[in-house]
Amino acid sequence: MKFSIVIATYNRADELRRTLDSLAALRCDAPWETIVVDNNSPDDTRAVVESARPGFPVPLVYAFEREQGRSAALNAGIALAGGEIIVTTDDDVRVEPDWLMRIERGLDALACDYVGGSVFPLWGAPPPRWLSTRGGPLWAVIALQDFGPTPIQFDRRIPLGVNMAFRRDAFARVGGFNTRVGRKAGTLLGQEVREWCVRAHAAGLRGFYVPDVVVRHVIPSERLSKSYYRRWFFWRGVSRAMLYAEAGLDMEKPEQSTIDFSRVPHLLGVPRYLFRTAARTLRDAVVARWRRDPVTAFEHETWLCFFAGILVQRWKDGWRTPPAPLAMHARSAA
Protein backbone atom coordinates (compact mmCIF):
# COMPACT_ATOMS: atom_id res chain seq x y z
CA MET A 1 0.00 0.00 0.00
CA LYS A 2 1.42 3.37 -1.01
CA PHE A 3 -1.02 5.83 0.59
CA SER A 4 -3.37 5.73 3.56
CA ILE A 5 -5.77 8.66 3.91
CA VAL A 6 -6.93 9.04 7.53
CA ILE A 7 -10.03 11.09 8.38
CA ALA A 8 -11.10 11.73 11.97
CA THR A 9 -14.80 12.63 12.05
CA TYR A 10 -17.41 13.58 14.61
CA ASN A 11 -21.09 14.10 13.90
CA ARG A 12 -20.85 15.50 10.36
CA ALA A 13 -22.24 12.69 8.27
CA ASP A 14 -23.62 14.86 5.48
CA GLU A 15 -20.34 16.71 4.98
CA LEU A 16 -18.40 13.45 5.22
CA ARG A 17 -20.50 12.03 2.38
CA ARG A 18 -19.43 14.89 0.09
CA THR A 19 -15.79 14.52 1.16
CA LEU A 20 -15.83 10.83 0.30
CA ASP A 21 -17.32 11.68 -3.11
CA SER A 22 -14.38 14.02 -3.70
CA LEU A 23 -11.84 11.39 -2.62
CA ALA A 24 -13.48 8.80 -4.89
CA ALA A 25 -12.48 10.94 -7.88
CA LEU A 26 -8.76 10.76 -7.06
CA ARG A 27 -6.50 9.51 -9.83
CA CYS A 28 -3.55 7.53 -8.53
CA ASP A 29 -1.56 4.72 -10.14
CA ALA A 30 -0.26 3.44 -6.78
CA PRO A 31 -2.41 1.46 -4.32
CA TRP A 32 -4.20 3.56 -1.71
CA GLU A 33 -6.87 3.30 0.97
CA THR A 34 -9.11 5.57 3.02
CA ILE A 35 -9.71 5.09 6.74
CA VAL A 36 -12.58 6.94 8.42
CA VAL A 37 -12.35 7.04 12.22
CA ASP A 38 -15.70 7.73 13.86
CA ASN A 39 -15.08 9.48 17.18
CA ASN A 40 -18.38 8.63 18.95
CA SER A 41 -20.65 10.33 16.41
CA PRO A 42 -24.36 10.21 17.39
CA ASP A 43 -25.46 10.63 13.74
CA ASP A 44 -25.38 8.15 10.84
CA THR A 45 -21.64 8.41 10.15
CA ARG A 46 -21.21 4.65 10.01
CA ALA A 47 -24.08 4.28 7.55
CA VAL A 48 -22.53 6.93 5.29
CA VAL A 49 -19.23 5.04 5.14
CA GLU A 50 -20.92 1.68 4.59
CA SER A 51 -23.11 3.06 1.81
CA ALA A 52 -20.09 4.58 0.07
CA ARG A 53 -17.96 1.43 0.32
CA PRO A 54 -19.42 -0.65 -2.57
CA GLY A 55 -18.74 2.05 -5.18
CA PHE A 56 -15.51 3.37 -3.71
CA PRO A 57 -12.49 2.78 -5.98
CA VAL A 58 -10.18 1.51 -3.20
CA PRO A 59 -10.57 -0.05 0.27
CA LEU A 60 -12.71 2.18 2.48
CA VAL A 61 -12.31 1.28 6.14
CA TYR A 62 -14.66 2.29 8.95
CA ALA A 63 -13.14 2.41 12.45
CA PHE A 64 -14.59 3.50 15.76
CA GLU A 65 -12.55 5.26 18.44
CA ARG A 66 -14.22 5.55 21.83
CA GLU A 67 -11.67 7.90 23.42
CA GLN A 68 -12.94 11.39 22.65
CA GLY A 69 -10.71 13.76 20.69
CA ARG A 70 -9.23 14.32 17.25
CA SER A 71 -5.79 13.21 18.42
CA ALA A 72 -7.05 9.87 19.69
CA ALA A 73 -9.02 9.31 16.47
CA LEU A 74 -6.03 10.12 14.27
CA ASN A 75 -3.78 7.86 16.31
CA ALA A 76 -6.28 5.02 15.90
CA GLY A 77 -6.39 5.55 12.13
CA ILE A 78 -2.61 5.72 11.86
CA ALA A 79 -2.34 2.43 13.76
CA LEU A 80 -4.61 0.79 11.17
CA ALA A 81 -2.94 2.36 8.14
CA GLY A 82 -0.98 0.15 5.78
CA GLY A 83 0.46 2.88 3.57
CA GLU A 84 4.06 3.98 3.21
CA ILE A 85 2.72 7.55 3.20
CA ILE A 86 0.02 8.51 5.71
CA VAL A 87 -2.17 11.47 4.74
CA THR A 88 -4.39 13.28 7.23
CA THR A 89 -7.37 15.41 6.31
CA ASP A 90 -10.80 16.40 7.64
CA ASP A 91 -14.36 15.40 6.88
CA ASP A 92 -15.17 18.72 5.12
CA VAL A 93 -12.68 19.03 2.25
CA ARG A 94 -12.53 18.79 -1.52
CA VAL A 95 -9.33 17.55 -3.16
CA GLU A 96 -7.70 17.82 -6.56
CA PRO A 97 -7.67 14.57 -8.62
CA ASP A 98 -3.85 14.40 -8.50
CA TRP A 99 -3.59 15.26 -4.79
CA LEU A 100 -1.81 12.07 -3.77
CA MET A 101 0.69 12.20 -6.63
CA ARG A 102 1.59 15.79 -5.77
CA ILE A 103 2.19 14.70 -2.18
CA GLU A 104 4.56 11.95 -3.27
CA ARG A 105 6.43 14.30 -5.61
CA GLY A 106 6.81 16.84 -2.82
CA LEU A 107 8.16 14.32 -0.33
CA ASP A 108 10.64 12.94 -2.86
CA ALA A 109 11.78 16.25 -4.36
CA LEU A 110 12.42 17.80 -0.95
CA ALA A 111 13.76 14.58 0.62
CA CYS A 112 11.79 15.29 3.79
CA ASP A 113 9.76 13.42 6.39
CA TYR A 114 6.44 15.24 6.12
CA VAL A 115 4.73 17.90 4.04
CA GLY A 116 1.81 20.28 4.38
CA GLY A 117 0.06 22.08 1.59
CA SER A 118 -2.20 24.99 0.74
CA VAL A 119 -5.72 25.20 2.13
CA PHE A 120 -8.16 27.45 0.27
CA PRO A 121 -11.75 28.29 1.28
CA LEU A 122 -15.12 27.16 0.02
CA TRP A 123 -17.19 29.90 1.64
CA GLY A 124 -20.58 29.00 3.06
CA ALA A 125 -21.33 32.72 3.29
CA PRO A 126 -19.53 35.92 2.22
CA PRO A 127 -16.52 36.55 4.50
CA PRO A 128 -17.11 39.39 7.00
CA ARG A 129 -15.34 42.74 6.66
CA TRP A 130 -13.26 42.12 9.79
CA LEU A 131 -11.63 39.03 8.23
CA SER A 132 -8.55 39.74 6.12
CA THR A 133 -8.49 38.22 2.63
CA ARG A 134 -4.67 38.21 2.69
CA GLY A 135 -4.00 35.80 5.53
CA GLY A 136 -3.09 36.72 9.08
CA PRO A 137 -3.82 35.31 12.54
CA LEU A 138 -7.57 35.02 12.00
CA TRP A 139 -7.09 32.51 9.16
CA ALA A 140 -6.08 29.85 11.68
CA VAL A 141 -9.62 29.75 13.04
CA ILE A 142 -11.05 28.42 9.78
CA ALA A 143 -7.94 26.39 8.85
CA LEU A 144 -6.80 28.31 5.77
CA GLN A 145 -3.18 28.43 4.65
CA ASP A 146 -1.28 30.07 1.82
CA PHE A 147 2.45 30.70 2.29
CA GLY A 148 3.01 31.62 -1.35
CA PRO A 149 4.22 29.83 -4.48
CA THR A 150 7.58 28.52 -3.20
CA PRO A 151 8.27 25.53 -0.93
CA ILE A 152 9.47 26.54 2.53
CA GLN A 153 10.74 24.49 5.44
CA PHE A 154 8.50 24.24 8.48
CA ASP A 155 10.45 25.64 11.40
CA ARG A 156 8.89 28.98 12.31
CA ARG A 157 5.66 28.05 10.53
CA ILE A 158 3.39 25.10 11.10
CA PRO A 159 1.26 23.07 8.65
CA LEU A 160 -2.45 22.44 9.03
CA GLY A 161 -3.60 18.92 9.80
CA VAL A 162 -6.34 19.21 7.18
CA ASN A 163 -3.66 18.83 4.48
CA MET A 164 -0.62 16.92 5.75
CA ALA A 165 1.26 13.79 4.73
CA PHE A 166 3.93 11.82 6.59
CA ARG A 167 6.35 9.05 5.79
CA ARG A 168 5.32 6.12 7.96
CA ASP A 169 8.54 6.05 9.98
CA ALA A 170 7.95 9.65 11.13
CA PHE A 171 5.46 8.33 13.69
CA ALA A 172 7.85 5.56 14.77
CA ARG A 173 10.48 8.22 15.48
CA VAL A 174 8.27 10.91 17.03
CA GLY A 175 5.18 9.12 18.31
CA GLY A 176 1.56 9.94 17.69
CA PHE A 177 -0.51 13.03 18.43
CA ASN A 178 -0.85 14.28 21.99
CA THR A 179 -4.29 13.21 23.25
CA ARG A 180 -4.46 15.92 25.93
CA VAL A 181 -4.80 18.53 23.21
CA GLY A 182 -6.66 18.33 19.93
CA ARG A 183 -10.33 18.97 19.27
CA LYS A 184 -12.83 17.30 21.63
CA ALA A 185 -16.60 17.48 21.60
CA GLY A 186 -17.79 20.51 23.54
CA THR A 187 -14.44 22.30 23.31
CA LEU A 188 -12.27 24.02 20.74
CA LEU A 189 -9.03 22.56 22.04
CA GLY A 190 -6.28 22.39 19.43
CA GLN A 191 -2.50 22.50 18.96
CA GLU A 192 -1.99 18.77 18.41
CA VAL A 193 -0.27 19.34 15.05
CA ARG A 194 1.90 22.15 16.41
CA GLU A 195 2.97 20.05 19.40
CA TRP A 196 3.77 17.09 17.13
CA CYS A 197 5.87 19.33 14.87
CA VAL A 198 7.83 20.64 17.85
CA ARG A 199 8.69 17.05 18.82
CA ALA A 200 9.49 16.21 15.21
CA HIS A 201 11.87 19.16 14.91
CA ALA A 202 13.59 18.17 18.17
CA ALA A 203 14.01 14.62 16.79
CA GLY A 204 15.65 15.93 13.60
CA LEU A 205 12.76 15.43 11.17
CA ARG A 206 12.26 17.87 8.30
CA GLY A 207 8.95 19.10 6.97
CA PHE A 208 8.12 21.41 4.06
CA TYR A 209 5.23 23.48 2.79
CA VAL A 210 4.43 22.32 -0.76
CA PRO A 211 2.21 24.94 -2.42
CA ASP A 212 0.77 22.76 -5.17
CA VAL A 213 -0.57 20.19 -2.68
CA VAL A 214 -4.01 21.79 -2.39
CA VAL A 215 -7.26 21.09 -0.59
CA ARG A 216 -10.35 23.26 -0.41
CA HIS A 217 -11.90 23.53 3.01
CA VAL A 218 -15.62 24.11 3.54
CA ILE A 219 -16.20 27.16 5.78
CA PRO A 220 -19.77 27.02 7.13
CA SER A 221 -21.53 30.30 7.82
CA GLU A 222 -21.76 29.61 11.57
CA ARG A 223 -17.98 29.84 11.83
CA LEU A 224 -17.94 33.35 10.40
CA SER A 225 -19.18 35.07 13.54
CA LYS A 226 -17.19 37.07 16.04
CA SER A 227 -18.52 34.93 18.87
CA TYR A 228 -17.05 31.79 17.28
CA TYR A 229 -13.69 33.49 16.79
CA ARG A 230 -13.61 34.75 20.36
CA ARG A 231 -14.38 31.25 21.65
CA TRP A 232 -11.76 29.68 19.35
CA PHE A 233 -9.00 32.01 20.57
CA PHE A 234 -9.99 31.44 24.20
CA TRP A 235 -9.53 27.71 23.65
CA ARG A 236 -6.24 28.33 21.86
CA GLY A 237 -5.07 30.03 25.06
CA VAL A 238 -6.23 27.03 27.09
CA SER A 239 -4.42 24.62 24.74
CA ARG A 240 -1.20 26.64 24.72
CA ALA A 241 -1.24 26.90 28.52
CA MET A 242 -1.58 23.11 28.72
CA LEU A 243 1.50 22.70 26.52
CA TYR A 244 3.31 25.30 28.62
CA ALA A 245 2.70 23.33 31.82
CA GLU A 246 3.52 20.02 30.14
CA ALA A 247 6.56 20.87 28.02
CA GLY A 248 7.59 24.46 28.78
CA LEU A 249 6.67 25.64 25.29
CA ASP A 250 6.37 29.36 24.59
CA MET A 251 2.65 30.11 24.72
CA GLU A 252 2.78 32.69 21.91
CA LYS A 253 5.12 30.79 19.57
CA PRO A 254 5.57 27.18 20.75
CA GLU A 255 7.62 26.18 17.71
CA GLN A 256 10.20 28.89 18.55
CA SER A 257 10.68 28.03 22.23
CA THR A 258 14.19 29.05 23.30
CA ILE A 259 13.52 30.42 26.79
CA ASP A 260 13.74 28.49 30.04
CA PHE A 261 10.52 29.82 31.55
CA SER A 262 11.33 28.36 34.94
CA ARG A 263 13.71 31.34 35.26
CA VAL A 264 11.25 33.99 34.04
CA PRO A 265 9.32 36.15 36.56
CA HIS A 266 5.68 35.04 36.79
CA LEU A 267 2.42 36.53 37.99
CA LEU A 268 -0.49 34.15 38.67
CA GLY A 269 1.50 31.41 36.94
CA VAL A 270 1.88 33.44 33.73
CA PRO A 271 5.12 35.05 32.50
CA ARG A 272 4.95 38.62 33.73
CA TYR A 273 5.78 40.12 30.34
CA LEU A 274 2.50 38.77 28.92
CA PHE A 275 0.58 41.15 31.17
CA ARG A 276 2.48 44.04 29.59
CA THR A 277 1.68 42.61 26.16
CA ALA A 278 -1.99 42.43 27.13
CA ALA A 279 -2.01 46.09 28.20
CA ARG A 280 -0.43 47.17 24.90
CA THR A 281 -2.83 45.00 22.92
CA LEU A 282 -5.83 46.53 24.66
CA ARG A 283 -4.52 50.01 23.86
CA ASP A 284 -3.89 49.06 20.23
CA ALA A 285 -7.38 47.57 19.91
CA VAL A 286 -8.92 50.83 21.09
CA VAL A 287 -6.77 52.85 18.67
CA ALA A 288 -7.62 50.56 15.72
CA ARG A 289 -11.33 50.83 16.49
CA TRP A 290 -11.05 54.63 16.69
CA ARG A 291 -9.31 54.59 13.28
CA ARG A 292 -12.10 52.40 11.90
CA ASP A 293 -9.76 49.53 11.08
CA PRO A 294 -12.00 46.51 11.79
CA VAL A 295 -9.44 43.86 10.81
CA THR A 296 -6.68 45.11 13.13
CA ALA A 297 -9.11 45.89 15.93
CA PHE A 298 -10.57 42.39 15.93
CA GLU A 299 -7.14 40.74 15.67
CA HIS A 300 -6.15 42.55 18.87
CA GLU A 301 -9.44 41.59 20.51
CA THR A 302 -8.92 37.91 19.74
CA TRP A 303 -5.42 38.05 21.26
CA LEU A 304 -7.03 39.25 24.49
CA CYS A 305 -9.42 36.25 24.30
CA PHE A 306 -6.34 34.05 23.89
CA PHE A 307 -4.79 35.63 26.98
CA ALA A 308 -7.99 35.01 28.96
CA GLY A 309 -7.76 31.31 28.08
CA ILE A 310 -4.16 31.25 29.31
CA LEU A 311 -5.18 32.80 32.64
CA VAL A 312 -8.01 30.32 33.18
CA GLN A 313 -5.90 27.25 32.39
CA ARG A 314 -2.89 28.39 34.43
CA TRP A 315 -5.21 28.81 37.41
CA LYS A 316 -6.53 25.28 36.85
CA ASP A 317 -2.95 24.00 36.62
CA GLY A 318 -2.17 25.45 40.03
CA TRP A 319 0.32 27.92 38.52
CA ARG A 320 3.03 25.27 38.58
CA THR A 321 6.44 26.09 37.09
CA PRO A 322 6.94 24.66 33.58
CA PRO A 323 9.89 22.44 32.59
CA ALA A 324 12.58 23.53 30.14
CA PRO A 325 11.27 23.37 26.54
CA LEU A 326 11.91 20.41 24.25
CA ALA A 327 14.44 22.34 22.14
CA MET A 328 16.67 22.76 25.20
CA HIS A 329 16.42 19.06 26.05
CA ALA A 330 17.40 18.23 22.46
CA ARG A 331 20.44 20.53 22.59
CA SER A 332 21.62 19.18 25.94
CA ALA A 333 21.26 15.60 24.67
CA ALA A 334 23.37 16.47 21.62
Last residue of a domain, one of 203, 224, 245: 224
DSSP state of 262: G
Question: What pLDDT sits at residue 326?
Answer: 58
Are 177 and 271 in the same domain? Answer: no
Q: What's the rounded Cα separation, in Å, for the pair 142 and 60?
A: 27
**Residue 180 CA from chain centroid, whole number:** 14
Provide the residue type at 168 as one letter: R
Are 87 and 61 in the same domain? Answer: yes
CA distance to 19, 269, 324, per residue, from 69 (Å) = 20, 27, 27
CA distance to 38, 178, 247, per residue, from 66 (Å) = 8, 16, 27
Phi and psi at 330, nearest 5°, equal: -65, -40
CB 164 within 8 A of CB 114: yes
Query: What is the pTM for the complete model shown?
Result: 0.92
Question: What pLDDT sits at residue 301?
Answer: 97
What is the rounded (10 degree) CA torsion for 81, 85, 86, 89?
Answer: -140
| Structure confidence at residue 333 as a pLDDT band (50, 70, 90) | very low
Query: Does 296 score more than 60 pLDDT?
Result: yes
Specify the number of domains making up the chain: 2
Are 112 and 246 in the same domain? Answer: no
Are 45 and 187 in the same domain? Answer: yes
Are 213 and 249 in the same domain? Answer: no
Are 161 and 75 in the same domain? Answer: yes
Q: What mean pLDDT comes out for the span 192-199?
A: 93
Are 317 and 216 in the same domain? Answer: no
Question: What pLDDT sits at residue 331?
Answer: 36
CATH of the domain at 21: 3.90.550.10
Nearest to 323 by CA among 254, 260, 255: 260
| Structure confidence at residue 123 as a pLDDT band (50, 70, 90) | very high
Are 50 and 179 in the same domain? Answer: yes
Using DSSP, state whether 137 is helix, strand or coil. Answer: helix
Question: What pLDDT sits at residue 238?
Answer: 96
Query: Does 330 score more than 50 pLDDT?
Result: no
Candidate from 30-34, 120-124, 202-206, 244-248 with smallest mean pLDDT: 244-248
Are 70 and 214 in the same domain? Answer: yes
Question: Domain residues for 192?
Answer: 3-224
Residue 89 exposure: Cα atoms within 13 Å on the Cβ side: 29
**How much is the mean pLDDT over the chain?**
92
The top-scoring range by mean pLDDT among 124-128, 210-214, 324-328 is: 210-214
Question: What pLDDT sits at residue 160?
Answer: 95
Q: Each residue of 44-70: pLDDT tens digit?
A: 999 999 999 999 999 999 999 999 999
Using DSSP, state whether 143 is helix, strand or coil. Answer: coil
Query: Does 329 score more than 50 pLDDT?
Result: no
The fraction of the chain above a pLDDT of 90, given in percent, is: 82
Question: What pLDDT sits at residue 334?
Answer: 33
Query: Does 319 score more than 90 pLDDT?
Result: no
CB 91 within 8 A of CB 16: yes
Longest Cα–Cα distance of the chain, Å, equals 61
Burial (0-12, 13-18, 19+ Cβ within 10 Å), 248: buried
Q: Each residue of 152-177: pLDDT tens digit?
A: 999 888 999 999 999 999 999 999 99
CA Rg value for the chain: 20
Task: Provide DSSP, 192-239.
Answer: HHHHHHHHHHHTT--EEEEEEEEEEEEE-GGGSSHHHHHHHHHHHHHH
CB 325 within 8 A of CB 260: yes
